[in-house]
């Protein structure tokens, strides 16, 4: 279902972009909700490390292709990515992250077995109702968990890395685009104000009134950027608590404390699907020469469901350690080279907004 849906969205979008009247006619951009679902499919366990077939494994590549095409060809503002990637997490009485206290349960065929309403977004299913932007507490939860995976769960890191890299590109493009709009609008306002001042009889008082909020007008579009939202507004410039969380996320190393600060986003997402061939062979060994199951297999067969997924905690069992240690751990506590590059990008995010004054605050306080 998801494969066909992503293919349809990509084809319709690409056809609109390549149309001769693209300059005058708007492209058929997927709604923010569909883009949000595509981002969830990138990292959802059932379509990544627990994918039951090759078709499911293809969903991730189709998702990132759609997301990148939208970002490159339309841009973050026109595609309303600030809506697609807005966090909508709430916590119910049990302490679990939910949307309005409702938890959808997804079956192995990718459908939700819940009959609950979809809370107004018109899309059912666990991927929609319990996507990454509803299960994660905030952007820094994604950052911290992704970097935890880079050290401790490499098989999960290969998927979270793609989403994190994409989100950082979205933040950068969104900021650059809004900054250019602000500068263009401000330049036009400065020219108009300059002409008005020349005609004004009380130039001094007019100039005083205009200087007070000049910086605010220059950056009014930036105030709505995704980066500012992820930073929690401008308050982080005056409080150390948000900055500490950002630093902790950027240096998440898979330690016990780091896993406590930034726990897994999907339930049991580090578990891996068991090899079905091995599972079948073990059952065949219990068959007698007549082809009938031995008595007692019924009880063992019922327990097989508990063994469909094997934990992947970064500490291979003694029997597998020699075989898998090299592929499942890194010598550095910072992860592989890709993780180090992304950590550096994350650390530069707060400084990007350092010259943008907070609404209602004097620019002098930013010095």
What is the rounded distance in angstroms from the CA atom of residue 58 to the CA atom of residue 62?
6
**Is residue 300 one of the residues assigned to a domain?**
no
What is the rounded distance in angstroms from the CA atom of residue 336 to the CA atom of residue 154?
9
**Predicted pLDDT at 312:** 53
Is residue 90 predicted with pLDDT exceeding 80? no
**Is residue 166 one of the residues assigned to a domain?**
no
**Predicted pLDDT at 88:** 78
**Predicted pLDDT at 219:** 72
Least confident of 209-223, 293-307, 330-344: 293-307
Question: If you ran DSSP here, which 8-state letter would residue 138 be given?
Answer: S
Most confidently predicted of 101-110, 235-244, 320-329: 235-244
**Is residue 336 one of the residues assigned to a domain?**
yes
Is residue 58 predicted with pLDDT exceeding 80? yes
Element housing 310 (H / E)? strand 309-310
- Helix or strand or coil: residue 269? coil
Q: How confident is the model at residue 352 (pLDDT cuts 50, 70, 90)?
A: confident
**Predicted pLDDT at 239:** 58
DSSP β-ladder status, 309-310 and 272-273 = antiparallel
**Predicted pLDDT at 25:** 52
**Is residue 203 one of the residues assigned to a domain?**
yes
Give the mean model confidence (pLDDT) for residues 220-229: 87
Backbone Cα Rg of the chain: 25
**Predicted pLDDT at 24:** 53
CA-closest candidate to residue 1, choices 129, 132, 135, 127? 127
List, for residues 31-55, the tens digit of each pLDDT value. 999 999 999 999 999 999 888 888 8
More confident residue, 116 or 157: 157
More confident residue, 104 or 128: 128
**Predicted pLDDT at 18:** 62
Least confident of 166-170, 172-176, 275-279: 275-279
Give the mean model confidence (pLDDT) for residues 122-131: 77
**Predicted pLDDT at 182:** 82
Q: Where are the beta strands (DSSP E) in 90-157?
A: 90-91, 97-98
**Is residue 222 one of the residues assigned to a domain?**
yes
Structure tokens at 336: 């592989």
**Is residue 103 one of the residues assigned to a domain?**
no
Q: How confident is the model at residue 330 (pLDDT cuts 50, 70, 90)?
A: low
More confident residue, 212 or 352: 352
Q: What percent of the chain has pLDDT over 70?
A: 60
Give the mean model confidence (pLDDT) for residues 7-25: 72
**Predicted pLDDT at 234:** 52
Question: If you ran DSSP here, which 8-state letter would residue 113 be given?
Answer: -
CA distances from 102 to 12, 111, 168, 328 (A): 33, 16, 30, 35
**Is residue 77 one of the residues assigned to a domain?**
no
b/e 275-310 (16+ beta carbons within 10 angstroms → b): eeeeeeeeeeeeeeeeeeeeeeeeeeeeeeeeeebe
**Predicted pLDDT at 11:** 87
Is residue 302 predicted with pLDDT exceeding 60? no
Element housing 273 (H / E)? strand 272-273
- Helix or strand or coil: residue 339? helix
What is the rounded distance in angstroms from the CA atom of residue 155 to the CA atom of residue 293?
36
pTM given for the model: 0.72
**Predicted pLDDT at 233:** 63
> Number of structural domains, the chain?
1
Is residue 266 predicted with pLDDT exceeding 60? yes
Q: Mean pLDDT of all residues in the chain?
A: 73
What is the extent of the structural domain holding 257? 138-158+172-271+311-367
**Is residue 276 one of the residues assigned to a domain?**
no
């Amino acid at each position: 279902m998801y494969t066909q849906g992503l293919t349809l969205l990509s084809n319709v979008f690409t056809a609109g972009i390549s149309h001769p009247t693209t300059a005058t006619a708007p492209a058929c951009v997927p709604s923010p909700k569909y883009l949000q679902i595509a981002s969830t499919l990138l990292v959802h366990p059932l379509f990544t490390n627990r994918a039951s077939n090759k078709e499911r494994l293809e969903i991730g590549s189709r998702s990132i292709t759609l997301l990148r095409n939208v970002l490159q060809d339309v841009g973050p503002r026109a595609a309303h990515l600030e809506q697609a990637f807005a966090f909508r997490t709430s916590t119910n009485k049990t302490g679990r992250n939910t949307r309005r206290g409702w938890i959808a349960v997804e079956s192995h065929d990718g459908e939700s077995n819940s009959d609950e309403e979809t809370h107004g977004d018109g899309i059912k299913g666990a991927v929609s109702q319990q996507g990454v932007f509803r299960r994660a507490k905030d952007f820094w939860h994604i950052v911290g968990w992704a970097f935890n995976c880079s050290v401790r769960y490499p098989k999960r890191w290969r998927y979270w890395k793609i989403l994190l890299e994409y989100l950082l590109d979205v933040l950068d493009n969104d900021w650059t685009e809004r900054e250019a709009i602000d500068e263009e609008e401000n330049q036009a306002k400065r020219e108009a104000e300059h002409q008005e001042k020349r005609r004004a009889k009380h130039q001094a008082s007019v100039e005083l009134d205009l200087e007070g909020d000049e910086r605010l007008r220059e950056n009014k579009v930036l105030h709505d950027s995704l980066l500012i939202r992820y930073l929690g507004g401008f308050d982080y410039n005056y409080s150390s608590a948000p900055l500490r969380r950002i630093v902790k996320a950027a240096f998440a190393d898979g330690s016990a404390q780091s896993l406590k600060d930034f726990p897994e986003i999907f339930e049991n997402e580090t578990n891996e699907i068991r090899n079905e061939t091995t599972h079948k062979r073990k059952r065949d060994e219990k068959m007698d020469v007549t082809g009938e199951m031995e008595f007692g297999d019924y009880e063992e067969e019922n327990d097989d469901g508990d063994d469909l997924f094997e934990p992947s905690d970064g500490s291979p069992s003694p029997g597998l350690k020699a075989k898998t240690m090299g592929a499942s751990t890194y010598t550095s506590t910072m992860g592989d080279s890709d993780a180090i590059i992304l950590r550096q990008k994350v650390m530069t995010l707060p400084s990007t907004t350092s010259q943008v004054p907070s609404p209602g605050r004097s620019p002098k306080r930013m010095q």
